Amino acid sequence: MESKEQTFMRIFLDTADIDEIREAARWGILSGVTTNPTLMMKSGGKSHEAVIREIAEIVDGPISAETISLDTEGMLVEARRFAKWHPSVVVKVPSTPNGWAAVKQLKQEGIRTNVTLCFSANQALFAALAGAYIISPFVGRLDDISEDGMQVVRDTVEVYRKHNLPTLVLAASIRHPLHIIDAAKAGADIATVPFKVLELAAKHPLTDKGIDSFLKDWQKFTEETGGRQA
């Protein structure tokens, strides 16, 4: 059986906002992007294809484009169309029997899939058995209904490793910075993060305080030495 392509967790951005993607890519930490119909609605009136192609010019990694069909044949039609847009496209389908059926057929055609809206390890197992490239457990939405969303990530990672299943585990519905580190500790292969959460995770008040202190000390030093560097 094929093995996973990585041994470290990657960060994806959960957005269709090109400016956010450019900024996160500038940081040097971005490995992919996930989009969905809700995010596409905020993309400024561009076509689905235009947005995906623009993202592909910025990010050298998987870009998820989501189907809206509920039947298998409809998903297949959309998936084949999306896959022609760019080699980086990964097609998102829902975690349903129709979705898993589409995954199996698409795998035979060499089209990678991201099975989304996963809320249980059972769904994650079925997606992997069908041949999913990525599974997306939704952490925050489970937390919202007083379930432990991260436990689904842990259970999925455990099942996949025990049975040597190559599907990548992507922690989705990330709501705050702690979710990112929890996903890493749980063994997730990927965390897909909204830009605002990524910004929060990048900052620490002591870092800002330290920079401010160093700059003030340097200014004082240069005033005392007349700006001499050596």
Q: Which of 46, 47, 50, 52 is nearest to 15 (CA)?
A: 52
Q: With b meaning 16 or more CB within 10 Å and e meaning fewer, what string describes 152-181?
A: bbbbbbebbeeeebebbbbbbbbeebebbe
- CA neighbours closer than 13 Å in the CB half-sphere of residue 20: 21
Rg of the chain in Å (alpha carbons): 21
Catalytic residue among 46, 92, 196, 209: 92
Q: 79 in helix, strand or coil?
A: helix
Q: Report whether 129 contacts 101 (CB < 8 A).
A: no
Tell me which residue has tokens 């580190």: 181
Which residue type is seen at 65? Answer: A
92 is catalytic: yes
CB-CB neighbours of 201 under 10 Å = 18
Q: Which of 47, 46, 45, 51 is nearest to 33 (CA)?
A: 51
Residues noted as catalytic:
92
